Amino acid sequence: MPRGRGSSVSTHEKPNVDAAVDSDKDNSRHKRSAYLLLGLFILFLHGSWSVYRMQFANLPLPLGAEQAGKRGFSEASALKHVKYLTGLGPHAVGSDALDLAVQYVYAEAEKIKKTAHWDVDVQLELFHTDIGANRLAGGLFKGKTLLYSDLKHVILRIVPKYLPEAEENLILVSSHIDTVSTTGGAGDCSSCVGVMLELARGVAQWAHGFKSGVLFLFNTGEEEGLDGAHSFITQHHWRNSVRFAVDLEAMGISGKSTLFQGTHQWALESFAAVAKYPSAQIATQDVFRSGAIKSATDFQIYQEVAGLPGLDFAYTDTTSVYHTKNDKIELLTPGSLQHNGENMLAFLLHAASSPKFMKDAHQAKQESTEQNNAIFFDILGKYMVVYPQRLATMFHNSIIFQSLLIWGTSLLMGGRPGLVSFGIACLSIILTLIFSIFLPVVVAFSLPHICPFPVPFVGNPWLVIGLFGSPALLGAFIGQRFGFILLKRHIQEVYSRTKPGLTGNTMDYIVGLEAERWIFKSGFVQWLIVLILGTYLKVGASYIALIWLVSPAFAYGLMEATLTPVRSPKQLKVFTLVLALAVPVMSSAGLFIRLVDVMVGSIVRADRNPGGLPDWLGNVVVAVAIAIVVSFTFVYLLSYVHISGAKKTLLSVLCAFFGLALVLVSSGIVPAFTEDIARSVNVVHVVDTTRMNDGNTEPLSYVSLFSNMPGKLTQELMDLRGEEFSCGRNMTTDFVTFTVKYGCRSYKGSNAGWSKSEVPVLHVESDSAADDARRTVVSVDTKSSTRWSLAINMQEIDDFTVQVDSDKLVQLGGKSEVDGWHTIQFAGGKNAPTKFQLTLFWSSNATQASPKEANAEDPPLLVKLRTDVNRATPMVETLLEKLPRWCAAFGKSTSPYTLAFLTALPVDI
């Protein structure tokens, strides 16, 4: 980095003392006041919050139908569709409500067809899928085969008349009508369907000037494992004409619809060129693809199965309501649909009218996606930046090389004293990070012991500022303070030899100024290391490290550096700090806040195996994330505190914020959950036949209570007194796709609401061995259930097939496994089959269960089956009414419905 005033402690310098530090009185006069530093902190925090609000909460005004006109987008019109769909309540695959939702979308699409421009050809289909199998390679689908049947999609194709080639070049716009069984799905994804219907209406007025067609796919089955997109892309006759895919999704409700995944630079640039309110973050793509967010979208099908280029958009506000009853229209923010609709309409008009766009789409299937990767992000929601990954790598490498060269030259000129100072500055970075993480982690571990809930801040996320932000900032200052003290001692030693004319307070003041500069420059080193690692690992969001390195370095070089070696250090200018942080805060502060907000909202469903995570884990993850953000972003600002009079004030303010937040959560004054932001608590009536040895044994029936959020169910049970629940880790329930490791059970009233005729049957039809190869044929009868999960023990079975009548759905080969099991998930409509034939091919290394294992209480299982019925039994209805209002069931593709039947076959069949 450039040599600044006081940036070197070389022994070759001549003693020279500035007039500014000639007297103790001057030293005291030049100290920064606590009010100045407090003002800087407030400016930094307020600026960061303002950036967040501008970037993620600044929405356009909703337009009515008359204001939008025939060719525009009207949120009011789109909202009518959302209101109807959410008014149907949960509409999961196989439900009557979903049939009504599909009928409504089809009827609205017919209106669009009738009112389209006279030079536009609109074709409408209600596509009824055949039975199919979906086997994806990565992400959440490793070790799984997804089967589906009797799905219905509404497909609307809009092409210009008299241009036949447009029919062979389609841009797909896709979202899903179905919801999980726990919500009406205002955000996920009735909002997307409403936007698509209004988009289709507008596109039908413009398409006479298109060079390509636009195909709107309203699919069902997405919530059961992306089955709707898979069935279209593998079965429909228009699938081969699709050249580009746009997917609309929601991971929360309302806010801006953000571009969080995209392929190919040309596609991203096309969107950036025309989007009226661009919202795009490659950082969310990095997080999503890392697997940190346990979710998937139809975009994976379009990429992995169809090999299509495309863009993926999602709402990410209030992620805590995702897949719960609180995904409701009342939480839709005015302007959200307008934002999504105007961006998408502008993009579709541009893409469909451009011959170059479709030419690029054709070429994309022949090229490697990696070669076309691009960096993309928006600035304050006003402008979108896109540039190729290879250019980013070249630029980053150039900055890294120049930084290392400047540092190397500076250290060489500074000699051994400079090298030692650099080492201590690097140590201060480590100490800052360690202390910044340590203090909030201690708080995170303590919260489950002093609060009614182990995660007491989900309902009011702003509490994390006091609970974790204050300790993190305090820890960062303490760690940096240690580095500052060590630097002062080292520099004082050097100055005592090289500047013997300095004594007393003057020496101490000048040494402090020199140490302050090293602490400020330690931020350069910190972000340089992050940039090196990000570039090496090809992390798209590495541009953030670049900005936090280059902007402060430029400000320091412009305002502080001098080429003369004969000078004494001066106090860092406040304007240097303001100039250094302006661009970094503007470019990334909003993103940091949003990522923490998403992380807090995701805790409500963090535990994939309820009770499998420690109570403190969610707190620790959030605390560490906040600590890292604080220690990295406050590194420059904190360097101004050490020689000021603000140290005690800073400590007092931070302790006060922390104490206030702790009192609020521990006393329950601020509730951990609210009716709108609820804790996930699932109630399932379980009929378990896995331990039945013969037909005379009665099934075990009970009601299971469990939560996907860490923590016991003590508070919930206070409202369920008299329902005879027992809780603990001995209440384990294997739901095939996951295991409840801590839960509650009640046997009260569990014999009502179901019949033995609904119990699924696994029957061994044949078991033979030929040429040392054992084969077992099992008939599977799921009775009335058209949603089920079956797991096969791959430690015993080498391969298997699944057959329905004469159709072999699952062929031999290509089976992956997770923890020794391969899981088949099936979801279908009312007319889906319920009888299947499973053929198991045993491994040559299969072990025969010993008599002791066969007679054990939990003998090893070969196949285990769960069937789901979307019906609340009398006991379940009672419990759902009694549960606190701040409880909500969380649904997902692997979750059982409110009535689940369990059965299995032992290894020793």
CA distances to 78, 120, 506 from 202, in Å? 11, 12, 74
Cα 700 to Cα 506, 694, 697, 752, 829: the distances in Å are 83, 13, 9, 13, 29
Q: What is the CATH number of the domain that holds 309?
A: 3.40.630.10
602 sits in the region (left: phi over 0; alpha: psi -120 to 50; else beta) called alpha
As a whole number, the mean pLDDT across the chain is 91
User: Does 237 map to a domain?
Assistant: yes
**Residue 238 lies inside a defined structural domain of this protein:** yes
Boundary of a domain, candidates 295, 324, 353: 353
Answer with the one of 634, 667, 700 that is the final residue of a domain: 667
Look at residues 311, 315, 313, 314 and name the one whose alpha carbon lies nearest to residue 262.
Answer: 311
Which candidate, 314, 168, 128, 342, places its Cα nearest to that of 831?
A: 128
Query: Which of 103-107, 136-140, 742-746 has the weakest average pLDDT?
Result: 136-140
Q: 28: which residues sit within 8 A by CB, 6+ positions away?
A: none
Same domain, 331 and 430: no
Statement to judge: residues 793 and 690 lie in one domain: yes
Strands 242-250 and 310-315: what pairing? Answer: parallel
256 shares a domain with 109:
yes
**Residues 339, 404 within the same domain:** no
Return the H-helix or E-strand segment holding 789.
strand 787-793
Q: Are 170 and 310 in contact (CB under 8 A)?
A: no
At 24 the pLDDT is 46
Look at residue 13 in the predicted model and tell me its pLDDT: 42
State the total domains in the chain.
3
For the segment 388-400, what is each residue's pLDDT rounded down to a tens digit? 999 999 999 999 9
Domain membership flag for residue 24: no
| 656 and 727 together in one domain | no
Q: What is the pLDDT of residues 241-282, one digit of tens each?
A: 999 999 999 999 989 999 999 999 999 999 999 999 999 999
**DSSP characters for 301-335?**
HHHHTT---EEEEEE-SSGGGTTSTT--GGGPPTT
Residue 470 structural domain? 390-667
Mean pLDDT value across residues 533-547: 95
- 334/424 same-domain check: no
Residues of the chain with pLDDT > 90: what percent?
A: 80
Query: Quick one: DSSP state of residue 181?
Result: T
Domain assignment present for 830: yes
Residue by residue, what is the 3-state secondary structure of 488-531?
HHHHHHHHHHHCCCCCHHHHHHHHHHHHHHHHHHHHHHHHHHHH
Looking at the structure, do residues 132 and 266 belong to the same domain, yes or no?
Answer: yes
Q: Nearest-CA neighbor of 701 among 658, 748, 662?
A: 748
Band of pLDDT at residue 502, cut at 50, 70 and 90: low
| 902 part of a folded domain | yes
* CA angle 765–768–773, rounded 5-degree value: 135
| pLDDT single digits (tens) 337-356 | 999 999 999 999 999 999 99
Q: Are 84 and 73 in contact (CB under 8 A)?
A: no
Look at residue 29 and tell me if it is in a domain: no
Residues 795 and 895 in one domain: yes
In this prediction, residues 474-491 reach a mean pLDDT of 96
Q: How far apart are CA 513 and CA 499, in angstroms?
A: 15
Residue 688 in any domain: the answer is yes
DSSP H or E run through 170 = strand 170-176
Distances (CA, A) of 467 to 596, 602, 793: 14, 18, 45
Instruction: Please check the confidence at residue 8 and state whether its pLDDT lies above 80.
Output: no
Same domain? For 791 and 886 the reply is: yes
Q: Are residues 465 and 577 in the same domain?
A: yes
The sheet with strand 807-810 has its strands ordered as 761-770, 773-781, 835-842, 797-804, 807-810
Give the confidence band of 294 by pLDDT, cuts at 50, 70, 90: confident
Q: Which helix (H) or strand (E) holds 191?
A: helix 191-206
Q: Do 663 and 688 sit in the same domain of this protein?
A: no
pTM for this structure? 0.92
Residue 132: per-residue pLDDT: 94
Residue 241 near residue 590 (C-beta atoms within 8 A): no
Residues 686 and 663 in one domain: no
| pLDDT score recorded for residue 485 | 95
User: Taking the CA atoms of the chain, what radius of gyration do you get in angstroms?
Assistant: 31
Specify if 54 maps to a domain: no
Given 332, 353, 374, the domain boundary residue is 353
pLDDT of residue 592: 96
